[in-house]
Amino acid sequence: MDPSQILVLAFQTSIMVTVFGFGLRATVADVLFVVRRPRVLVISLVSMFIVMPFIALVLAMVISPPQVALVALVALSLSPVPPTLLGKEHDGDGRDSYGLGLTAAVSVLSIVLVPALVAFLGNLTDQPFNISFTAVAGQVLVAVVLPLLAGMLVRAFLPRLAISVGKPLALVANVVLLAAVAILIVAAFPQLRDVFTLNTVAAFVAFTALGLVFGHIMAGPAPGDSQVLALASALRHPGIALAITTANFPSLQFGAVIILYLLIGAIVCIPYVKWVQKRATALQATSHRD
């Protein structure tokens, strides 16, 4: 196993541990939150899998980024919620049940939705664009479903253990994740320099910003719900996107451009999350005065 494979394994393991940690505080009601609210589920799916792919196609035509960035952008728009959204919606004062339920529901539904949408887009653009159900299912099961279920089982049968290890586990996972990301960025720096073009940056910034705007608006007036759907629309699962791109364009290298998207997405989302936190604090202060 070479160093790059070890780094990728560390990255994937840290994500699995992060999801397991959130499973330690998740309940069945949390996981089924959006399933029991069909309207919320439909709105979320429309924002993520109809509005965002449309935006990606428009940006591809208007901005015309290089082929590797264009393909990555479209693949990202068809990918499900990243497991790390579980942490972002909580940090930004989003409703925990909505974030957990949306991550679980979309992850499971993506096993069917993602291959179907990829095939539809391939037919629409007359391009050989497809991905197998097993490829998506493998990513989703390993990265989201199994760690989440394992954490929930520990919570159900060993509640004291779940409480005691939850925070230390989250801290360790975050440290490993940040270290793996930092080392991956350094290792991929020469490739990042090659894909770092004005059109690529503009496309990723616009995609993330428009995802935040449309997700926030479509979720409705509840501040927590708006913030969760905004982040779910703007940020996507890099593993699924990488599986889609490499399966259809094996001659191109997509690792660096997807890392670039993750960096740009994180930077663009920072002011939005800060604004949401400030808004939530102001609303709480107003309610206390009343």
What CATH number does the domain located at 3-283 have? 1.20.1530.20
Residue 200 is predicted with a pLDDT of 96
Residue 243 is predicted with a pLDDT of 85
Are 19 and 141 a contacting pair, CB within 8 Å? Answer: no
Q: What does the alpha-carbon distance between residue 74 and residue 287 come to, in Å, rounded to a whole number?
A: 43
Cβ count near 262 (within 10 Å): 19
Q: What does the alpha-carbon distance between residue 214 and residue 77 come to, in Å, rounded to a whole number?
A: 13
The amino acid at 191: Q
Q: What does the alpha-carbon distance between residue 39 and residue 34 come to, in Å, rounded to a whole number?
A: 8
Write out the two tokens for 136.
Answer: 């998506």
Residue 289 is predicted with a pLDDT of 63
Write out the two tokens for 18.
Answer: 């992060």
Q: Which residues of the chain fall below pLDDT 50?
A: 2-4, 88-94
End-to-end CA distance of the chain: 61
Write out the two tokens for 197.
Answer: 């073009």
Max Cα–Cα distance, the chain, nearest Å: 62
Residue 67 is predicted with a pLDDT of 92
Residue 91 is predicted with a pLDDT of 46
Residue 53 is predicted with a pLDDT of 95
Q: Could you write out the DSSP letters of every residue in 69-107?
A: HHHHHHHHHTS---TTHHHHHHHTT--HHHHHHHHHHHH
Angle value at C-alpha 79, between 75 and 81, nearest 5 degrees: 150
Residue 142 is predicted with a pLDDT of 85
Angle value at C-alpha 267, between 183 and 79, nearest 5 degrees: 80
